[in-house]
Amino acid sequence: MSLEGFATLVCEMRAPHVLLVTLNRPQVRNAFNTQMGRELLGLWTRLAEDAGEARCVVLTGAGEQAFCAGADLKERNGMTQEAWRRQHELFEQAFWALGDLPLPAIAAVNGAAYAGGLELALMCDFIYAARSARFALTEVSLGIMPGGGGTQNLPRAVGGRRAKEIILTARPFGAEEAHRWGLVNHLCEPGEVVAAALDTAAAIAGNAPLAVRQAKKSVRYGMQMDIDSAYRFEVEAYNRLVDTEDRREGIRAFNEKRKPDFKGR
């Protein structure tokens, strides 16, 4: 799978099986325009169809100032209602494709994550952040509301009451608060967040890829079910792993006291 040819993204394989994706519009704080929306949708769709050697994704922004400032409001200035609707449909599809990505995705928030930028991070499985990072869902201050999953993913991360305060005030908050509220998994010193996320991604990528995917799927969909249905979904996901080469390799490696060589089969 080719990872080249993007105008707004930089994609590079880092540690074995770890793909680093960088939003690359630092001159506008990595705000996403129509082109970036198309490229993100194309990338996530391609990875879902055939991930190649990739087993885990780290998503970050270029530079140290911003992860992503949200949608590019200069591009949106003067847009017709129809053009805005079409663009937002594209953004929606790109966000949903990231949320549905079979591979685990870690957001490495190196700076400001505002509006759609925070929603993009929330679509990842979890977030690492620099201590200097700032967060906000600013949409209501612009006459709109979060439309990239923010009103759904944020309350699932921090609770409904906290999410309503964040969304309805549109006030920015810091990384320490984000960590304390459960939005961020791990805090890093400035300049170290990508390395920390890549290290965790490498640990994930070293595990059996089919097992990792099934476990992610079980958590994601199980949280939307009643507990008895979720238990049954988990067992169905588990049973799909029993007749795999990786399961047999894992048991052999344990008994032979060596590191397993998982193939994703």
Which of the following is catalytic: 119, 177, 192, 256?
Answer: 119
Whole-number CA gyration radius for the chain: 19
Residue 26 DSSP symbol: G
Cα separation, 30 vs 101, in Å, equals 22
- Hunting for tokens 């994706």 — which residue is that? 21
Residue 27 DSSP symbol: G
Which of the following is catalytic: 4, 139, 189, 192?
Answer: 139
Are 28 and 69 contacting, i.e. CB atoms less than 8 angstroms apart? yes
Degrees (nearest 5) of the Cα angle 222, 16, 48? 40
DSSP, residue by residue, 37-72? HHHHHHHHHHHHH--TT--EEEEEESSSSEEE--B-
DSSP, residue by residue, 100-149? T-SS-EEEEE-SEEETHHHHHHHHSSEEEEETT-EEE--GGGGT----SS
Among the listed residues 225, 226, 228, 263, the one whose alpha carbon sits nearest the alpha carbon of residue 246: 263
The identity of residue 108, as a single letter, is A
- Hunting for tokens 């996320």 — which residue is that? 197
Q: Find the helix or strand (DSSP H, E) in which 188 lies.
A: strand 186-188
119 catalytic? Reply is yes
Are 180 and 192 contacting, i.e. CB atoms less than 8 angstroms apart? no
Positions annotated as catalytic residues are: 119, 139
